[in-house]
């Protein structure tokens, strides 16, 4: 479903202090931007920002950067960023295809992929955020002990992701096909999508992967 356009969306992003506009110029300098040496976690596809703003509030000693390519979605996320009033979260409007131009090698400690577009048609599999083409990018920017945390409601995407991750030499842990009935639910922060799916009784698939 297409999101309704928001009046003056671009202007609202330009004026907001949590939105970064010169992200590629900050490559290798993100700890300077945050003005500390805390670990940096990123969420690719932050949606309306509920997850990342809550994580930032709950973990003040971790820095967070959310990526969202759709302007109208990112503008809607400003409400969550404003309400939590945290200083350790920033947001960037861009496509993950360019992630290597934003971070240096080993600059990131954790990547969150929450309810990514499943791209169900076989001809679109390269667009899935757990495709090995993206895994190679993540491997470059993650620290040696870095981790990918992936959640989805889509069984086919989860099966594809398991296969891609194992096939390309990543180590799996905390794998579950029903997060909210597992021991891994402790400390779980839900996205807007997750709340909806759980309310409908749908299982949430989750995994972590590291090199």
Q: Are 88 and 56 in contact (CB under 8 A)?
A: yes
Ranges of H-type helices in the chain:
9-15, 30-34, 50-58, 71-84, 132-141, 155-167, 192-199
For 66, other C-beta atoms within 10 Å of its C-beta total: 29
Give the DSSP H/E element, type plus range, for residue 24.
none
CA distance 130 to 163: 10
Give the C-alpha distances (Å, rounded to integers) separating 18 from 47, 80, 87.
Answer: 15, 11, 8
Angle between helices 50-58 and 71-84 (to 10 degrees): 30
Q: 């639910």: which residue's tokens?
A: 185
122 in active site:
no
Query: Looking at residue 4, what DSSP letter applies?
Result: P
Active-site entry in 35, 37, 109, 117: 117
CA distance 27 to 161: 28
CA distance 51 to 62: 14
Active site residues: 117
């Amino acid at each position: 479903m297409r999101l309704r356009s928001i009046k003056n969306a671009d202007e609202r992003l330009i004026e907001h202090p949590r939105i970064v506009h010169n992200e590629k110029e900050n490559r290798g300098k993100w700890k300077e931007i945050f003005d500390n040496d805390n670990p940096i976690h990123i969420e690719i596809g932050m949606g309306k920002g509920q997850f990342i703003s809550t994580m930032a509030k709950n973990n003040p000693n971790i820095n967070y950067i959310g990526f969202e390519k759709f302007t109208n979605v990112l503008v809607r996320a400003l409400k969550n960023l404003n309400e939590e009033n945290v200083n350790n979260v920033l947001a960037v409007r861009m496509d993950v295809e360019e992630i290597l131009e934003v971070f240096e090698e080993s600059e990131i400690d954790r990547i969150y992929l929450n309810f990514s577009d499943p791209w169900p048609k076989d001809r679109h599999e390269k667009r899935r955020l757990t495709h090995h083409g993206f895994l190679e990018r993540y491997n470059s920017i993650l620290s040696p002990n870095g981790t990918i945390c992936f959640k989805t409601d889509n069984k086919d995407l989860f099966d594809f992701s398991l296969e891609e991750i194992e096939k390309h030499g990543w180590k799996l842990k905390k794998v579950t096909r029903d997060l909210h009935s597992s021991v891994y639910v402790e400390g779980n922060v839900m996205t807007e999508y997750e709340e909806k799916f759980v309310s409908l009784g749908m299982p949430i698939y989750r995994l972590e992967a590291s090199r």
